[in-house]
C-alpha cells in the first residue's frame, strides 16, 4: 500500500472512531421520549445557576459594589420620613388572606414537606404565599395590576450589569412595554436589540420588585447581594429619567423599589433609595422587616406587604415615571437632531467598567441647551427676515 493510500485509510479510521465516541457520549447523556431528546442530568440547571451566582459569593463582592456607589446598608440620612411611614403602612394595612397551606390544619405538614428541598421546590410551593404572581392576581380581578408583568428566572439581557453577571431574579415585577405610549417610548429611546437603561427585557420596563430564593448556609446573604445588584440597576433607570427631566430632587432619598430575599425559614424585605449630592449618586437599602415565615404573627406578613405594595406604592411608582416623561421633549418635535453623547455622566449613573453605550433619553445637560438653541434659531430667522426685507426695499427704490 502506498503512503497516500495508507494515510487515507488512517484518516478514515480516525473519523470513524470520533463518530463512534460521539455517538456513545450522546447515548449516555440523553434519552428519547417519543422522539424528543432530553437530558438525564437533573442537576444541570442547578449547576448553571450556581456558576452564574459564583461572583455574588466572592468575599470582595460587597466592597466592589461600594466602589461603584452601591451600599448594602442605609445612609446616615436614610429615606424620607414619608417613605418610612409608607413602609409601615405596607406592612400593617389589613388585606384579604387566601385560604390554603398556611392554614392551621395544614401548616405543620406543609413546613415538614419543604425541609431539605430545592430552591425550585420553594419557588413553586412556598414563594407564591409570600409574593404571588401579579399577572395571576390581575386575572383574579386585581385591575390595578393591568400594567404589571412578572418575570421568573429571566436574565436581564437588555441592560448592563453594575458588577458581575447580568441579574437573573427568581421573580421580578416591572411595567409592561404597552404601559407607555409611542411618544413616551420615543423619549426613552428603547430600541429592539439595543441596550437600554430603562428596560431589562424587551417587555419589562422599570422593575420595582425583585425576589431571590436560596437554600443552605448563608443563603439570605447571597440572595441579598443579588437583589441589591438588581435593584441598583432598577433605581439607576429612574434616576437617569429624573436627570433627563431636570427633576433629580424628586427622587433624592425616595424609596424607588423593593426586594424580598427568602429561604425556607426566613424573609428579609428591603427598600432601595438613591442619595444625590455633590459627589454624585449613591444607592442604599433600608431594612423594612426581617422575620420567620412560620411564626403565627408573621406567616402572612410578606404576602400582606406585597398586596399593599400593589395598592399603594405601584400608583406612586407609575405616576412618578409619567410625570418625569412629561418633562422630556419628544425627539420628533425638536427642530433638529441633537448630537447626544452616548456616554452616561458618571455623576448620576452607575457603570460597569466597560462603560457601554445605551439608548436613553437626552441628558439634562443637553436638555438645558435646548431653550438656548431655540432662541438662537429664532434670532437667526429674524435676522434673515430683516435682511430679506432690507434687500427687497433696496431693490424697490432702485427700480
Q: Does 172 fall in a domain?
A: yes
Residue 382 pLDDT greater than 80, yes or no: no
d(CA 355, CA 68): 12
Lowest mean pLDDT segment, chosen from 210-219, 241-250, 270-279: 210-219
Q: For 303, list phi and psi in degrees, rounded to 5.
A: -60, -45
The pLDDT of residue 355: 40
Q: Does 33 fall in a domain?
A: no
Q: Does 19 fall in a domain?
A: no
H or E element that contains 308: helix 301-308
Q: Does 64 fall in a domain?
A: yes
Q: Could you tell me if 212 and 223 are in contact, meaning their C-beta atoms sit under 8 angstroms apart?
A: yes
Residue 390 pLDDT greater than 70, yes or no: no
Q: Does 71 fall in a domain?
A: yes
How do residues 2-15 score in pLDDT, each as one tens digit?
Answer: 544 544 554 455 45
The pLDDT of residue 301: 98
Q: Identify the residue with better confidence: 349 or 91.
A: 91
Q: What is the CA radius of gyration of the chain?
A: 28
Quote the pTM value. 0.76
Q: Could you tell me if 195 and 358 are in contact, meaning their C-beta atoms sit under 8 angstroms apart?
A: yes
d(CA 260, CA 262): 6
Residue 219 has what DSSP assignment? H
Q: Does 321 fall in a domain?
A: yes
Q: Could you tell me if 338 and 377 are in contact, meaning their C-beta atoms sit under 8 angstroms apart?
A: no
Q: The domain containing residue 91 runs over which residues?
A: 48-332
Grid coordinates representing 261 are 430575599
Residue 333 pLDDT greater than 60, yes or no: yes
Strand 148-151 relative to strand 266-277: parallel, antiparallel, unpaired?
A: unpaired
How do residues 228-238 score in pLDDT, each as one tens digit?
Answer: 999 999 999 99
- The mean predicted confidence, pLDDT, of the chain is 81
d(CA 227, CA 167): 8
Residue 294 pLDDT greater than 70, yes or no: yes
Count other C-beta atoms under 10 Å from residue 296's C-beta: 9
3-class state of residue 358 by DSSP: coil
- In the chain, the number of structural domains is 1
CA 273-278-279 angle, 5° bins: 75
Q: How far is CA 12 from the centre of its chain?
A: 53
Residue pointed to by grid coordinates 426613552: 188
The pLDDT of residue 219: 85
d(CA 151, CA 126): 17
Grid coordinates representing 70 are 452601591
The pLDDT of residue 248: 97
Q: Does 62 fall in a domain?
A: yes
Q: Does 237 fall in a domain?
A: yes
At 331, the pLDDT band (50, 70, 90 cuts) reads confident
Amino acid at each position: 500500500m502506498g503512503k497516500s493510500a495508507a494515510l487515507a485509510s488512517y484518516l478514515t479510521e480516525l473519523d470513524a472512531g470520533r463518530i463512534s465516541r460521539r455517538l456513545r457520549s450522546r447515548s449516555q447523556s440523553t434519552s428519547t421520549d417519543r422522539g424528543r431528546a432530553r437530558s438525564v442530568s437533573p442537576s444541570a440547571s442547578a449547576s448553571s445557576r450556581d456558576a452564574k451566582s459564583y461572583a455574588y459569593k466572592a468575599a470582595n463582592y460587597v466592597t466592589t459594589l461600594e466602589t461603584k456607589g452601591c451600599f448594602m446598608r442605609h445612609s446616615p440620612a436614610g429615606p424620607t420620613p414619608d417613605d418610612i411611614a409608607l413602609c409601615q403602612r405596607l406592612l400593617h394595612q389589613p388585606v384579604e388572606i387566601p385560604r390554603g397551606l398556611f392554614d392551621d390544619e395544614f401548616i405543620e405538614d406543609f413546613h415538614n414537606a419543604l425541609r431539605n428541598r430545592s430552591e425550585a421546590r420553594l419557588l413553586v410551593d412556598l414563594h407564591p404565599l409570600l409574593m404571588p404572581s401579579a399577572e395571576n392576581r390581575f386575572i383574579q380581578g386585581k385591575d390595578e395590576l393591568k400594567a404589571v408583568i412578572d418575570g421568573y428566572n429571566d436574565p436581564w439581557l437588555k441592560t448592563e450589569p453594575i458588577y458581575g453577571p447580568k441579574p437573573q431574579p427568581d421573580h421580578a415585577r416591572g411595567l409592561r412595554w404597552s404601559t407607555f405610549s409611542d411618544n413616551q417610548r420615543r423619549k426613552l429611546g428603547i430600541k429592539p436589540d439595543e441596550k437600554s437603561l430603562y428596560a431589562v427585557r424587551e417587555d419589562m420596563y422599570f422593575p420595582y420588585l425583585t425576589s431571590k430564593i436560596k437554600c443552605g448556609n448563608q443563603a439570605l446573604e447571597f440572595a441579598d447581594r443579588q437583589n441589591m445588584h438588581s435593584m441598583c440597576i432598577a433605581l439607576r433607570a429612574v434616576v437617569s429619567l429624573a436627570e433627563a427631566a431636570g427633576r433629580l430632587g424628586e427622587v433624592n432619598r425616595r424609596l424607588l423599589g423593593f426586594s424580598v430575599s427568602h429561604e425556607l425559614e426566613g424573609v428579609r424585605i428591603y427598600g432601595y433609595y438613591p442619595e444625590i449630592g455633590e459627589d454624585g449618586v449613591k444607592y442604599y437599602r433600608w431594612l423594612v422587616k426581617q422575620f420567620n415565615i412560620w411564626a403565627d404573627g408573621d406567616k402572612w406578613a410578606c404576602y400582606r406587604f406585597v398586596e399593599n405594595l400593589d395598592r399603594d406604592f405601584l400608583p406612586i411608582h407609575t405616576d412618578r415615571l409619567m410625570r418625569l416623561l412629561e418633562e422630556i421633549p419628544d425627539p420628533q418635535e425638536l427642530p433638529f437632531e441633537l448630537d447626544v453623547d452616548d456616554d452616561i455622566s458618571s455623576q448620576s449613573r452607575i457603570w460597569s467598567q466597560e462603560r457601554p453605550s445605551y439608548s436613553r433619553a437626552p441628558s439634562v445637560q443637553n436638555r438645558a441647551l435646548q431653550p438656548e438653541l431655540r432662541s438662537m434659531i429664532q434670532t437667526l430667522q429674524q435676522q434673515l427676515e430683516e435682511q430679506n426685507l432690507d434687500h427687497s426695499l433696496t431693490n424697490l427704490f432702485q427700480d
